[in-house]
Amino acid sequence: MKNFCSRRQFLKISGATAAGWAMASALPPWQMLSAAEIAAAEGRYVATYCEMCFWKCGAFAKVVADKVVKLEGNFLHPHSRGVLCGRGNGGLGLLYDPDRLKAPLIRTGERGDGKYREASWDEALSLVAEKMGKLATDYGPESLALFTHGSATSHFFPLVKAYGSPNVAMPSFAQCRGPRVAAYDITTGSDIGSPERLDMANSKMVVLLGSHLGENMHSSQVQDFTQAIGNRAKIVVVDPRFSTAAGKADYWLPIRPGTDMALLLAWTHLILKNHWYDAAYLEAYANGLEEMIGQYDEYTPEWAAKETDLSPAVIIETAQLMAKNAPAVALHPGRHVTWDGQDVQRSRAIIILQALLGTWGRKGGIYLASKAKLPPLPAGKAYPKPGRPALNRGGYPFAGGEGVTNVVRASTLSGQPYPIKGWFVSGTNLLAALPNPDETRAAIKQLDFLVAVDMMPTDTVVHADVILPECSYLERHDSIAQLRGRDLRLSIRQPAIEPLYNSKPGWWIAKELSRKLGLEAYFPWQTYAEKLEEDCLAWDIDFDELKEKGVVLIPNSENAYIAPGNPPVFKTASKKIELYSEELELLDFDPLPRYVRNEQPQADEFRLLYGRSPVHTFSRTVNNPVLNELFSENELWLNPRPAAKLGLKNGDYVALVNQDHIKKGHIRLKVTERIREDCVYMVHGFGLQSERLSKAFNRGVSDQELISKYVVDPIAGTTGMRVNFVRLQKEA
């Protein structure tokens, strides 16, 4: 129990936070230096890329006497362009968080009761290997599932594949981008990527449906959006809440939540009816315009106005504006698009509009991905063929290779089609990422074995049988990030300092485990630096240049826009954009998006909405001493009229009771005109229940716990989560 603080210590620390995190956590004195002193100090700079979210901004760590004193954006890196967001700057808080996992731990009590003893790496890894061996014998290696997100994936995915399991689950697919990936795949044959290839900096018009840029803080994307605002591009923001982006918009469309499809179909109706589409573009690059004619007649602005609670005039005006500014219209596809289980079709409705306006491959619309290619890396040892097929697709035809976390969870619970008995979890906090945490907890109970590789004692981690402490991204090598935008970007991550405490890099953990499992042939290098150097050699990249500059750009020989000799490439069956999808039709899905009404709240209910704070990433930064000081507790946004009706005022604390009678409290009210009357809103990631997180424990309320209901998208198997309703109860 050494490295977990006791309840009493915890209270002491949390009581002391007001006095400043540096004091409370007894941080090294250099943390007390002023900004001027840090700037003046002689130090060395180590190039890396950020892992505070997944935008992978290039950064430099300034190191003075073995302490990282500052993080700076890398000006050469297209994702940061020299600017790290608040969370990126807050990376130091993660590195020096006193609550970090400091040594391998082995569970001594019941699963979930938080009793652990410290162990050596050798003992902990031997135990993991033994348990993995037993799982393979008892149920077959496919009974182990990997749950992962971020750079941990590149180490543990190979390990689990070598071991013989095809089951890899990523909440960043099934609870995030999955529907969009599927929709682009079906419609254009390729994804819009990360970074999304929106040419906002050159757009004459930007349309955001829910994408709350400015709170959603991907550095270069927000910079592009800012440039669009500076260029006086017309900005349309569709959001039930007056978001930061809405504050910059020409049009704020406070839509009734869950009705965006009606708006999209009405816009499509208007564009078709008035022949505002780009006929020559469609002739050259799209299939299915004829099939669309007549299918949208019913979706008039007057009809949509009733569904969306917007005025017909504003629907018409914004459609006209799109037509006028096309093709320089950046109609954002959204990123976190798991809303209501009709998400692939809503994403398709957006892509169809992008196509009608001729934006794909055009300046100010969607630029083309770089066609730059790297020579292939030498083939490693072939992975064994799993004895049983992956669960992941689970009957959802476009589930993506590694996606359906809920299918893996369901199989853990039901044992069908075969039992999942072991979870290997790294870089994801399942209890804060998957809907219906009760189901997740029940699944965890069924497990023979749970191992977690993490940096922090999160709600999920404290259920593990063995906890393996990974060092932070500032203390390790990771794989070279390959990012495709206008050019191909290769970024390196290298340790600024040695791992603190008894933590280890993910690559080391995977390699050591492979040794114990007799799978070391899959990790044929001694150190990761050696592997990176070999990769660069194969790619003909100057490793020293990469180490020094942090990023090497492989320019796009072709243009980013459609031009003679530079046509767009659509990897669909017809080699065109498939407005009308025969592929979906063959599978008995609607070949064109159509309207299916979502359930709406009862008179005394509110739809539960959630989103981002600019200074936090999901649940993972809530305990970060630097970022927690900026934003320590989420609030519940509520419109003044329902507030008055309920006798509630700004600053009151309330409990929330959802449609399944799950009650969670307290959360402080923010009574504001900036939200519609039929919904409430909170920042995701709060209300954490691990007592080991001294700053995050029980602060605010967890949206997750109130998301007991979800709707699975039948096409992608992803989980729509904005289908929960809450009632408010005043708390003392």
Give the interface with ligand SF4 as residue ranges (CB under 6 A): 50, 52-53, 55-57, 80, 84-85, 87-88, 217-219
Sequence-distant (6+) residues with CB within 8 A of 257 are: 240, 607, 609, 676, 678, 679, 722
Q: Does 241 interact with ligand MGD (rule: CB under 6 A)?
A: yes
Residue 601 and residue 202 in contact, taking contact as beta carbons nearer than 8 Å: no
C-beta atoms surrounding 280 within 10 Å: 9
Stretch of 27-35, 212-220, 554-562, 581-589 lying at the interface with ligand MGD (CB under 6 A): 212-220
Q: Find the residue with minimal CB distance to ligand SF4.
A: 88
Q: Does 10 interact with ligand MGD (rule: CB under 6 A)?
A: no
Strand partners, 207: 236, 331
Question: Per DSSP, which regions of 332-371 are E strands?
Answer: none
Q: Which of residues 328-367 bind ligand MGD (CB under 6 A)?
A: 334-336
> How many residues interact with ligand MGD (rule CB under 6 A)?
60
Nearer to Mo ion, 216 or 624 (CB): 216
Q: Does 53 interact with Mo ion (rule: CB under 5 A)?
A: no
Distance CA 267, CA 353 (A): 8
Given 165, 458, 659, 724, the residue binding ligand MGD (CB under 6 A): 458
Residues 318-357: x where in contact with Mo ion by CB under 5 A, - otherwise, as a string: ------------------x---------------------
Q: Does 261 interact with ligand MGD (rule: CB under 6 A)?
A: no
Identify what 704 binds: Mo ion, ligand MGD, ligand SF4, none; CB under 5 to 8 Å per kind.
ligand MGD
Given 91, 93, 164, 210, the residue binding ligand MGD (CB under 6 A): 210
Identify what 255 binds: ligand MGD, ligand SF4, Mo ion, none; CB under 5 to 8 Å per kind.
ligand MGD
Q: Find the residue with minimal CB distance to Mo ion.
A: 176
Residues 596-615: x where in contact with ligand MGD by CB under 6 A, - otherwise, as a string: -------------xxxx-x-
Query: What is the nearest approach in angstroms of ligand SF4 to the Cβ of residue 153?
Result: 16
Distance CA 356, CA 287 (A): 11
Angle between helices 260-273 and 301-308 (to 10 degrees): 170
Distance CA 597, CA 173 (A): 25
Question: Per DSSP, which regions of 379-527 are E strands?
Answer: 422-426, 449-454, 466-469, 481-484, 488-491
Distance CA 144, CA 424 (A): 7
DSSP per-residue letters across 140-159: -GGGEEEEE-GGGHHHHHHH
Sequence-distant (6+) residues with CB within 8 A of 174 are: 338, 399, 403, 404, 405, 406, 717, 718, 719
Query: What is the nearest approach in angstroms of ligand SF4 to the Cβ of residue 60?
Result: 12
Distance CA 22, CA 695 (A): 13
Q: Does 186 interact with ligand MGD (rule: CB under 6 A)?
A: no
Q: Does 721 interact with ligand MGD (rule: CB under 6 A)?
A: yes
User: Which amino acid is residue 272, in one-letter code?
Assistant: L
Q: Judge residue 575's burial from the number of C-beta atoms within 10 Å of its C-beta, 0-12 exposed, 13-18 middle, 19 or more buried.
A: middle
Query: What is the nearest approach in angstroms of ligand MGD to the Cβ of residue 495?
Result: 12
Instruction: Report the sign of the C-alpha dihedral through residues 570, 572, 574, 579, in that order.
Output: negative
Stretch of 26-34, 171-179, 314-322, 343-351 lying at the interface with Mo ion (CB under 5 A): 171-179
174, 333, 403 from 399: Cα distances, Å: 8, 18, 6
Q: Does 176 interact with Mo ion (rule: CB under 5 A)?
A: yes
Binding positions for ligand MGD, rule: CB under 6 A? 51, 53-54, 149-150, 152, 171-172, 175-176, 209-212, 216-218, 238-241, 243, 255, 257-258, 260, 334-336, 426-429, 433, 453-456, 458, 470, 472-473, 506, 609-612, 614, 616-620, 681, 684, 703-704, 707, 721-722
Site residues (vs Mo ion, CB under 5 A): 176, 336
